[in-house]
Structure 1
Amino acid sequence: MTGQAANVHATAVVLGTRGFLFVGPSGAGKTTLALSCLTAARNSGLFAALVSDDQVLISMRNGRAVARRPASIAGLAEIRGAGIVAVESVPAAVMDFAILPVKPPFEPRMPPENETFLLPSGDFLPLKRLPLAEGLNSFEILRLILPQNADFQGQ
């Protein structure tokens, strides 16, 4: 699917120089987790911005997954129970990882190795499970679970 975009139910963000596609069913905590990571990244001095919330247009360009926002929801995120909020955003970004929010009791306890997220194009993104629980610093956990060669500065 080079060039043609598919609408994916997800939340896409940029943290530093990396793109993250938060995936999962409705109500899984995608937006909450993504916004929490955005705030923590900014507080750490990193660039952080929303690409799109709820609807993400994914296309493949030169072997990379590119996320874009539909114009109708540019710069908006829906916080369940609180409503629609304005969030600093960018129109598009390359996605490097898919993130799956997981809630207690965290089953399975250990995630499968080399887990991937299937994109509509048939391509894959490496998938990481990120705990969503009170008292956890999601951004710091994200930093710890990423491969050592995948920092937030593009190195």
Structure 2
Amino acid sequence: MSAAARAPYIHANALVLGDKGVLLRGPSGSGKSALTLALISRYQSQGEFARLVGDDRVRVEALNGRLIARPHPAIAGMIEIRGHGLSRVETEAACVLRAIVDIRTPDDPPSRLPDAAEKSASLHAIALPRLCTEGCSDVSVARIIFFIQSIATI
């Protein structure tokens, strides 16, 4: 069985912002889809490239020292808009992940001054820069954009 066939789907969103793949993780109802839509909209309104890769269920696998994200085939090309349902959007079939954003709840807010260990996360033994933020707000969108733009392209 290939590594791709064994890679499980995780509860997350994947998207491309500019030239960087981003994995948004968080509990159900934390605002992953709304944050994904807000980030894509902000990038595109500034004339920058942004696309959804996968909403809600994403397969992440390690290939040649990189993490590749792909959508679940049953919902590829769609994103949930709460109060509206599933909608088709422009997508990319896969992306190389360059960062992880963890959405925290008000009961478990992010650290004000995170230590070095909190600034990275590992998947399949590959470490990526990490940001923790709370829910979907203009502040979270601004934090994520600043964070993504501060990551050097490899």
Band the TM-score falls in, shorter-chain normalisation: 0.7 to 0.9
**Aligned residue for 2:131?**
128
Compare 20-29 and 124-133 and name the one that shifted more. Answer: 124-133
Q: Which moved more, 1:123-132 or 1:46-55?
A: 123-132
What's the % identity of the aligned pairs?
33
Which residues in structure 2 correspond to 1:5-84 (within 5 Å)?
Answer: 5-84=7-86
Q: Which segments of structure 1 move beyond 6 Å, counting only runs of 4 or more?
A: none
Q: C-alpha displacement at 1:62, in angstroms?
A: 1.1
Contact 2:32–2:136 (Cα < 8 Å) also in 1: no
- Find the aligned partners of 1:144 and 1:84 in 2 and give their Cα distance: 29
Is 1:117 aligned to 2:111, yes or no?
Answer: no
Which of 77-86 and 8-17 deviates more?
77-86
Q: 1 CA distance for matches of 2:149 and 2:91?
A: 26
Structure 1 contact 111–129 (Cα < 8 Å) conserved: no
CA contact (8 A) 1:12 1:21 kept: yes
**Cα pair 2:102 2:130 within 8 Å, conserved:** yes
Q: How does 1:97-116 map to 2 (within 5 A)?
A: 97-104=99-106, 107-114=109-116, 115=118, 116=120
In 2, Cα distance between the equivalents of 1:147 and 1:37? Answer: 13
Q: Is there any run of 5+ residues in structure 2 with no aligned partner, and where?
A: none
Aligned length: 150
Higher helix share: 2
Q: CA deviation at 1:103?
A: 5.0
Q: After superposition, what is the alpha-carbon deviation per residue over 1:3-39, rounded to whole angstroms, capped at 9, x for unaligned?
A: 4422111000001100000001111111111111011
Contact 2:11 2:57 in 1 (8 A): yes
**Displacement of 1:99 after TM fit?**
0.7
Which runs of 5 or more structure 1 residues have no equivalent in the other structure?
none
User: Whole-Å Cα distance in 1 between the matches of residues 28 and 113 of structure 2?
Assistant: 21
